[in-house]
Amino acid sequence: MPDDRIIDDMVHESALQLWAAAQTDFDPFEVPPEEWGPNVVPVRDADIAHDTRLHLGVVRESLERLDGTRLVVGREAGDLMVRRVVPDDVAL
């Protein structure tokens, strides 16, 4: 099994791509974060697990580590959801 840093990079990249693709009201690569608005579409932990082919528990552990640093993670009915990505040049 890869170390946590490699897993976190895989989960972050998957979350970033899935999250960006889920946004239909704006292009997160073209619109500044302060203009994203309230209608951001979250990405479920299960979708990230499927995309990365990692076990759901491994993805959840990684999301917990990434929460508040590279991603904003929420919880809903026992699932973790990526609510926002944190651009490298924007502080939380």
pLDDT tens across 5-58, in order? 999 999 999 999 999 999 988 888 888 888 888 888 999 999 999 999 999 999
- Cα-flanking dihedrals φ and ψ of residue 20, to 5°? -60, -40
Query: What is the spatial distance between Cα 52 and Cα 90, in angstroms, rounded to a whole number?
Result: 26
pLDDT of residue 89: 57
Cβ 40 vs Cβ 81: under 8 Å? no
All domains in the chain, ordered by first residue = 4-85 (1.10.10)
pTM surpassing 0.85? Answer: yes
Please tell me the predicted confidence (pLDDT) of residue 81.
Answer: 96
